[in-house]
Amino acid sequence: MDKIIVIDFGGQYCHLISRRIRELGVYSEILPHDCKLSILKKKNPKGIILSGGPGSVYNNRDPKLHDKFYSYVQFQNIPLLGICYGHHLIVHQLGGTIEPHNRKEYGKTILYKLEETPLLKGLHDEEVVWMSHGDQVKKLPKAFRPIAETNTCPIAAYENEEQYIYGVQFHPEVTNTPKGNIILSNFIDKIAKCKKEWRLENWIQKSIGDIQEQVGQKNRIILGLSGGVDSSVTAVLLHEAIGDRLHCIFVNNGLLRKNEEKKVQKVFKDKLGFSNFHYIDAEKLFLENLKGIEDPEEKRRIIGHTFIEIFEQKTIELEHSYPNIEFLAQGTIYPDRVETSATSKASAKIKSHHNLTLPNDMKLQIIEPLKNLYKDEVRRIGRKLGLPSIIIDRHPFPGPGLAVRCIGEITKQRLDTLREADYILMEEIKKEGLYDELWQIFCVFLPLKTVGVMGDYRTYQNICAIRAVESRDAMTASFARLDWELLERIGTRIINEVDGFNRVLYDISNKPPSTIEFE
Ligand code: XMP
């Protein structure tokens, strides 16, 4: 299959470039800027895109490409497109000059097209593009020519048509560049001449064949199924490939939303006919292990360990009955595996995520069928394989579940109170048709007591906080501006119907500086 490689220079949009290329029907992968040339060669790319990044090319410490990289692409006639830092790097390394500009350009700008060229075909003479740069190209290398400019940047795009090298100062991958997709499409279509073979139907067929071949006729797979999108899609895909030789282990840790365990069982056992669905009620053990624990990281650690303990125990038990369990499946997806330079440099650990990642010393072979897919691709596959919207379109739910939404010590009573309030919130939001518009919405139990009055009686109960956010990828988020009357309806219902809360607060913090979950 034809492939475009994106080389990562630490730009925050690296995954976005790769996703856009896939949306246009061509398979794309990301490689780090310091990856060995032999690895790049093995990928046999039809085109290469150099991403943006925070560096400056004349700073010795900032990443560069080896001379051999340019000899390879030129010798093989592999088209090259540089974006922002990548646009500078090509010029800098092939004999031109870059300089800091006294006016930084950030945000929307008008781009003036200077030439009819393959890269800019289909664009008008003036187009809106999105810029974010301080440096700019001053002098182009030999045989390069400018093909577009802005008011402050005379070489906003260039080409070297003979060698198939192109560069753009702006970001075609972001939606703020409305015609960005045409530019990327021109690159993969008209310049790199890629065949559009990246179709999810083909992927599903091929993946099922690969799983059947890898697992063989007799072996079995176990999978920790949480009911989240990634593990659910992994489950249906594996089930399609090997049927009941797939064993799903669903652990009820007592930290789930109301009726969650029933919903998940209904989908997998009743609707999809999974006969080896193993439900483990481990509420007691989790609550015992969490008793008296208030520290968020300690809660996360205990939950992770308890899960692994239970999972290992169940696996040993199953292995007695089915000695041919040879594989452990995981719902890892592409962004989990390929951290871009920008995210991997992130210094401080804010929260340790618990995502059912199991130890490798289980002596089982790991199988990760979704490991090259993006979330939206995973969702589309799940839909095609018959997963209902209540699984596919659900809001993200953290691995440690309600433990990180029940501040301070966790008790069954607190969790039950929280579950009831959360259930009412969901009911009202769904009734209002707002569920799909929000990234997440949930209730949080605050272990503070305040005074209220109900009828003629004084109450002294806890506080329920409501958190609703809009986001694209959870890296940043803004609080949702929900309608006052809706909030009033929700608040009134929670206070009237849930024993344990007599006050409701609405969280108006954005991320950053806050995070989405409270702990
Ligand atoms: P924060 O709270 O860090 O959350 O702003 C960002 C996103 O990650 C989710 N989240 C988790 N997801 N395991 C997960 O799979 C976890 O341990 C975990 N903790 C937070 C959170 O719900 C939000 O969508």
Looking at the structure of the chain, the number of domains it has is 3
Q: Does position 347 have pLDDT exceeding 60, yes or no? A: no
Mean pLDDT of 256-264: 97
Instruction: Decide which of 140, 174, 191 is a domain's last residue.
Output: 191
> Is 400's C-beta closer than 6 angstroms to any atom of ligand 1?
yes
**Cα atoms found within 13 Å of the Cα of residue 251, Cβ hemisphere only:** 26
What's the 418 CA to ligand 1 centre distance in angstroms? 18
511 lies in some domain: no
Q: Does position 496 have pLDDT exceeding 70, yes or no? A: yes
Alpha carbon nearest to ligand 1 atom 20, residue: 398
pLDDT in tens, 97-128: 999 987 777 899 999 999 899 999 999 999 99
Tokens 């005074």 belong to which residue?
451
Q: Indicate whether 288 and 234 sit together in one domain.
A: yes
62 lies in some domain: yes
Instruction: Decide which of 139, 159, 191 is a domain's last residue.
Output: 191
Q: Does position 90 have pLDDT exceeding 60, yes or no? A: yes
Instruction: Name the residue of 353, 442, 473 to mutate for ligand 1: max ligand atoms within 8 A of Cβ.
Output: 353
pLDDT in tens, 277-306: 999 999 999 999 999 999 999 999 999 999
468 lies in some domain: yes
Domain hosting 466: range is: 410-506
Q: Indicate whether 80 and 178 sit together in one domain.
A: yes
Query: For residue 374, what is the DSSP state?
Result: -
Q: Look at residue 101 in the predicted model and tell me its pLDDT.
A: 83
Alpha carbon nearest to ligand 1 atom 17, residue: 353
Q: How far apart are alpha carbons 411 and 417 in whole angstroms?
A: 10
Q: Does position 353 have pLDDT exceeding 90, yes or no? A: no
Q: How far apart are alpha carbons 21 and 15 in whole angstroms?
A: 10
Query: For residue 394, what is the DSSP state?
Result: P
Q: Indicate whether 380 and 415 sit together in one domain.
A: no
Tokens 């059912």 belong to which residue?
356
Instruction: Decide which of 392, 419, 445 is a domain's last residue.
Output: 392
> Is 515's C-beta closer than 6 angstroms to any atom of ligand 1?
yes
Query: For residue 115, what is the DSSP state?
Result: S
Q: Look at residue 28 in the predicted model and tell me its pLDDT.
A: 98
% pLDDT > 90, the chain:
90
400 lies in some domain: no
What DSSP string runs through 153-219? -S-SEEEEGGGTEEEESS-TTSTTSTTHHHHHHHIIIIIS-------HHHHHHHHHHHHHHHHTTT-
Q: Which helix (H) or strand (E) holds 493?
A: helix 484-497
Q: Indicate whether 123 and 218 sit together in one domain.
A: no
Q: Indicate whether 429 and 361 sit together in one domain.
A: no
457 lies in some domain: yes
Residue 478, strand partner residues = 470
CATH number at residue 496: 3.30.300.10
What DSSP string runs through 91-110? HHHTT-EEEEEEEEEEEEEE
CATH number at residue 54: 3.40.50.880
What's the 396 CA to ligand 1 centre distance in angstroms? 8
Q: Which two tokens stand for residue 518?
A: 């409270």
Which atom in ligand 1 lies closest to the alpha carbon of residue 477? 5
Q: Indicate whether 279 and 384 sit together in one domain.
A: yes
Instruction: Output the CA–CA distances (angstroms, integers) from residue 191 to 71, 116, 165, in the order listed.
Output: 19, 14, 9
% pLDDT > 70, the chain:
97
Which of 201, 228, 203, 223 lies closest to 393, judged by CA? 228
465 lies in some domain: yes
> Is 509's C-beta closer than 6 angstroms to any atom of ligand 1?
no
Which atom in ligand 1 lies closest to the alpha carbon of residue 400? 17
Q: Indicate whether 31 and 156 sit together in one domain.
A: yes
Instruction: Name the residue of 471, 517, 519 to mutate for ligand 1: max ligand atoms within 8 A of Cβ.
Output: 517
Q: Does position 346 have pLDDT exceeding 50, yes or no? A: no
Q: Indicate whether 453 and 475 sit together in one domain.
A: yes
Q: Does position 354 have pLDDT exceeding 80, yes or no? A: no
44 lies in some domain: yes
Q: Indicate whether 164 and 209 sit together in one domain.
A: no
CATH number at residue 371: 3.40.50.620
pLDDT in tens, 199-238: 999 999 999 999 999 999 999 999 999 999 999 999 999 9
Q: Indicate whether 266 and 384 sit together in one domain.
A: yes
Q: Look at residue 335 in the predicted model and tell me its pLDDT.
A: 87
Q: Look at residue 102 in the predicted model and tell me its pLDDT.
A: 77
247 lies in some domain: yes
> Is 252's C-beta closer than 6 angstroms to any atom of ligand 1?
no
Which atom in ligand 1 lies closest to the alpha carbon of residue 228? 15
What's the 398 CA to ligand 1 centre distance in angstroms? 5
Q: How far apart are alpha carbons 30 and 7 in whole angstroms?
A: 6
Which atom in ligand 1 lies closest to the alpha carbon of residue 439? 24
> Is 304's C-beta closer than 6 angstroms to any atom of ligand 1?
no
Which of 246, 260, 305, 295 lies closest to 410, judged by CA? 295
Instruction: Output the CA–CA distances (angstroms, integers) from residue 161 to 79, 81, 117, 285, 351, in the order listed.
Output: 10, 12, 9, 66, 48
> Is 331's C-beta closer than 6 angstroms to any atom of ligand 1?
no
Q: Does position 129 have pLDDT exceeding 60, yes or no? A: yes
Q: Indicate whether 354 and 488 sit together in one domain.
A: no
Q: Indicate whether 171 and 96 sit together in one domain.
A: yes
